[in-house]
Structure 1
Amino acid sequence: MTPELHSERLRFLPYRPEDEDHFVALLRDEEVCRWMGQDLVPEPEVRVLFRTILTEVYPRRLFDVWGLWHAGAYVGHAEVKKTGNVAGHELVTALVPAHWGRGLGREVVRTLLRHAAENLGLTEAYGMVGAENRASLAMCERLGFRHVRDVKGDDGTVTRMLVVPTAAAAAQEEGAGA
């Protein structure tokens, strides 16, 4: 089962049925979809995706997925799952736009890296970041990610594939005095 995780300011909680509207609002936000490199999907499809997390992903332990909470408010989504791009695991994060620019993205990724190392036994993790997403690319660089290759979509968009040793999370936290 997806474990509950904690960071300095965030609680990573497995989704519950009552979280559906938060999840749908996040994945129906045009800015969020743009930076995640995905199309805006119709609401009924997002609701089916949410229910699939509850009925298939969790019971079958397919991968870890959480709702992110700060001071009792839903602030985003996170996953650690096998990636289809390479033999490895990918970190997926999305924050509610009202919470961008507060350092939460860095906190989410550091916590996911720690989980990947300590609970999943992974030595590295991947990230896929849109080439135009300068803020996320800069954050990944500060966290020790390195560029592997660019992936060009059918629509001409470019996504940067990045990789980082999971030990980078421990080094980041020690350096921060955590």
Structure 2
Amino acid sequence: MLHPDYPIRTDRLLLRPFRGDDLDGLYAIQSRPAVARYLYWEARTMDEVRIVLAERIKQDRIAEEGEKLNLALQRRDTGALIGDVNLVWLSRPHRQGEIGFVLHPDHHGQGFAREAATEMLRLGFENLGLHRIIGRCDGRNRASARVLEKLGMRREAHLRENEIVKGEWTDEMVYAMLRSEWARPGELTA
């Protein structure tokens, strides 16, 4: 079981469970077409975000295979909700997991996604005992691919036109890291 002590503190972020008062902040992110561009869903209405938030509030721990830990990203300096990060327990027998992240565009390119995703890798490897963690993204989403690469994950697959997303054939990139390859920031070797 994985039930972290909250909030999880990084240099610039608090990773914490979602709360009811996150509705406006989450809507400010998920209502943007630019945010949903490479995701399976379209920009969401307030009512849709309300439903999503109700589900995310419950995703504060992982007890069973198939469950998702989904945490809000809050800037420590401003208190603003800037996105979310998640860890899914894909397989108990094979000790597999998957990470993901979504950020408000105003906070892209500042290292916040890497900072938060590093914590998801740590939780997966050190607390949940995973052997392998993957990250997937649309092949057109170079920004997310760069984050996965900066985490030290290796590209294992480039699946050509493997899905129809929003009426269009798209490629999928699959990145992965093994527990034996995990190094916390500052421990990375050249």
Normalization by structure 2: what TM-score? 0.78
Indicate if the aligned counterparts of 1:110 and 1:169 stay in contact, CA closer than 8 A: no
Pairing 1:64–2:72 present: no
* Alignment partner, residue 11 of structure 2: 8
Aligned-pair CA distance for 1:171: 4.3
Sort the Cα spacing of 1:167 and 1:26 in 2 relative to 1 into closer, same or farther, 3 A.
farther
Pairing 1:48–2:57 present: no
Pairing 1:163–2:176 present: yes
* Residue segments in structure 1 that go unaligned for 5+ positions in a row: none
Normalization by structure 1: what TM-score? 0.83
Pairing 1:22–2:29 present: no
| Equivalent in 58, 61, 85 of residue 78 of structure 1 | 85
Letter paired with 1:136: S
Indicate if the aligned counterparts of 1:143 and 1:168 stay in contact, CA closer than 8 A: no
**In structure 2, distance between residues paired with 1:159 and 1:81:** 18
**In structure 2, distance between residues paired with 1:161 and 1:38:** 19
Greater per-residue helix proportion? 1
Letter paired with 2:34: E
Pairing 1:153–2:160 present: no
Aligned residues: CA RMSD: 2.5
* Residue segments in structure 2 that go unaligned for 5+ positions in a row: none
Paired-residue identity, %: 25
Indicate if the aligned counterparts of 1:20 and 1:50 stay in contact, CA closer than 8 A: yes
Give the secondary-structure state (helix, strand or coil) at the position aligned to 1:174: coil
**In structure 2, distance between residues paired with 1:123 and 1:107:** 21
- How many residue pairs get aligned? The number is 173
Sort the Cα spacing of 1:12 and 1:156 in 2 relative to 1 into closer, same or farther, 3 A.
same
Aligned-pair CA distance for 1:108: 1.4
